[in-house]
């Protein structure tokens, strides 16, 4: 049914759990996985503590190294389970849009993504990448909570 699955990860515990579940799903479906991490650009005004104490170049190096770490970890887990995979890093200030574009550009027929399950005011104030992917994607989305 599904042969090429895009799995976004930001290294959070929920994303790691979704990576593991997506690997199991892909193994059973004999599908390939593309793991993607979206690096948000450096902003002068930010509430992200990683950006508050960094210069643009320091932040870029840190974000790139962190993304590589997340992707390498996911790739090792997939290979251990015999799942064919590859990794992708993209930079965008619209994470949900970058995820959907990566899925389209790579011929994916499913996006498997984690959700923090925020509701109410938390979802309104913080927004949700997963909710935006769900509402904008024409590719099926499997949400792991």
Place of tokens 């992707």: 71
Fold of 4-144: Rossmann fold (3.40.50)
> pLDDT for 26-56, tens place per residue?
999 999 999 999 999 887 665 566 555 567 7
Return d(Cα 29, Cα 22) in angstroms, integer.
Answer: 10
In the predicted model, is pLDDT for residue 97 greater than 70?
Answer: yes
The pTM of the full predicted model, rounded to 2 decimals, is: 0.87
Return d(Cα 24, Cα 35) in angstroms, integer.
Answer: 14
In the predicted model, is pLDDT for residue 99 greater than 80?
Answer: yes
What is the rounded average pLDDT for all residues in the chain? 89
Per-residue pLDDT, 45: 61
Angle at 18 between CA 130 and CA 51, to 5 degrees: 60
Confidence category of residue 57, pLDDT binned at 50, 70, 90: confident
Domain spans, the chain = 4-144
> pLDDT for 6-28, tens place per residue?
999 999 999 999 999 999 999 99
Per-residue pLDDT, 58: 85
Q: Is 107 exposed, middle or buried (0-12, 13-18, 19+ CB in 10 A)?
A: exposed
């Amino acid at each position: 049914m599904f042969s090429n699955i895009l799995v976004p990860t930001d290294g959070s515990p929920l994303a790691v759990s979704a990576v593991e579940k997506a690997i199991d799903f892909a193994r059973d479906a004999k599908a390939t996985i593309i793991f993607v991490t979206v690096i948000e650009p450096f902003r002068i005004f930010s509430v992200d503590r990683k950006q508050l104490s960094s210069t643009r170049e320091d932040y870029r190096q840190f974000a790139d190294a962190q993304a590589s770490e997340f992707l390498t970890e996911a790739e090792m887990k997939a290979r251990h389970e015999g799942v064919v995979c590859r990794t992708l890093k993209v930079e965008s200030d619209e994470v949900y849009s970058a995820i959907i574009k990566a899925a389209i550009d790579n011929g994916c027929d499913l996006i498997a993504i984690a959700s923090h399950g925020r509701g109410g005011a938390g979802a309104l104030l913080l927004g949700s990448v997963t909710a935006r992917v769900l509402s904008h994607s024409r590719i099926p989305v499997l949400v792991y909570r």
